[in-house]
């Protein structure tokens, strides 16, 4: 049932799988007919997770899964408006511009270097980088598109001037629906490969921080703010649904989004 409704609502396969796992755990604890489940049952279940010291994000996922099942799939008027802290209020790890530059310079493999530079320069998630196709670039206008990113949304990203020519060479002579980055065997890279590239590069650069792919996205957003762009500008480029999510990077004066230059061009 959740699979059918999830597909209809265009949830990602990963979200559907996660929701199914959450429901299986819930009904192991409450093995009753779904329509007989009460709001108190749900609250008691979530309170049990809190008692086990589960992370706020984990609890929020369970809440969303249960809300989706009972309200969307069963049409049960349960009004699950229970509030739980989604995540701890901690600032993300951010690298300085100098650290980003040094890290990228320490990547010896040319293709790997371009991949990591593009991730930072456009604020891309790993999955978004790996899913890029030749048709997603508009080199003439200097922008590209993330297709069906997080939340199944498309969004625009800026192509750094320093990378435009190199990316154009990579895409030259290839089919529009070809993936941009493939291994020597013609296969797409996996997330683990990107994680290892970044881990090795940061170590060689002497960065004593736990750097991961998303660190580049955090750094991209922070450096845009430092360069004078507003929260609304950065929010659009990151694809955040709410400006509150972007507020962690601080807000400053507004500029026109189409005039934004990638911070990679200022390294």
Specify whether 214 is catalytic. Answer: yes
Choose, from 54, 200, 214, 251, the residue flagged as catalytic. Answer: 214
How far is residue 5's CA from residue 3's CA, in Å, rounded to a whole number? 6
Choose, from 217, 218, 223, 229, the residue flagged as catalytic. Answer: 217
| Number of other CB atoms surrounding residue 109 within 10 Å | 11
> How distant is the alpha carbon of residue 82 from its chain centre?
26
| Number of other CB atoms surrounding residue 206 within 10 Å | 10
Sequence-ordered list of residues with C-beta below 8 angstroms from that of 143, at least 6 positions apart, any chain: 156, 157, 158, 159
How far is residue 123's CA from residue 102's CA, in Å, rounded to a whole number? 18
Extended strands (E) in 52-178: 137-138, 143-146, 155-158
Specify whether 199 is catalytic. Answer: no
Choose, from 19, 120, 125, 223, the residue flagged as catalytic. Answer: 125
Terminal C-alpha separation, the chain: 51
Choose, from 150, 164, 212, 251, the residue flagged as catalytic. Answer: 150
Specify whether 223 is catalytic. Answer: no
Specify whether 9 is catalytic. Answer: no
Specify whether 108 is catalytic. Answer: no
Specify whether 240 is catalytic. Answer: yes
Q: Annotated active-site positions, please?
A: 125, 150, 214, 217, 240, 249
């Amino acid at each position: 049932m959740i699979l059918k409704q999830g597909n209809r609502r265009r949830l990602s396969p990963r979200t559907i799988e996660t929701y199914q796992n959450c429901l299986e755990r819930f009904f192991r604890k409450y093995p009753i007919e779904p329509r007989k489940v009460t709001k108190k049952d749900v609250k008691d279940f979530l309170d049990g997770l809190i008692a086990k010291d589960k992370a706020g994000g984990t609890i929020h996922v369970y809440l969303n899964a249960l809300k989706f099942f009972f309200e969307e799939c069963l049409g049960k008027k349960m009004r699950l408006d229970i509030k739980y802290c989604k995540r701890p209020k901690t600032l993300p790890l951010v690298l300085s511009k100098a650290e980003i530059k040094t890290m990228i310079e320490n990547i010896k493999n040319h293709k790997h270097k371009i991949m990591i530079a593009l991730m930072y320069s456009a604020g891309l998630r790993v999955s978004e980088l790996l899913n890029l196709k030749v048709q997603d670039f508009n080199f003439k206008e200097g922008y590209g598109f993330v297709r069906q990113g997080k939340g199944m949304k498309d969004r625009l990203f800026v192509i750094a001037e320093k990378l435009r020519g190199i990316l154009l060479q990579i895409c030259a002579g290839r089919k529009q629906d070809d993936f941009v980055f493939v291994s020597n065997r013609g296969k797409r890279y996996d997330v683990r490969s990107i994680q290892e590239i970044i881990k090795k590069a940061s170590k060689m650069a002497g960065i004593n921080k736990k750097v991961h792919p998303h660190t580049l996205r955090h750094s991209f957003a922070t450096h845009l703010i430092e360069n004078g762009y507003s929260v609304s500008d950065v929010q659009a480029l990151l694809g955040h649904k709410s400006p509150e999510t972007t507020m962690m990077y601080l807000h400053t004066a507004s500029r026109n989004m189409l005039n934004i230059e990638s911070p990679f061009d200022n390294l």
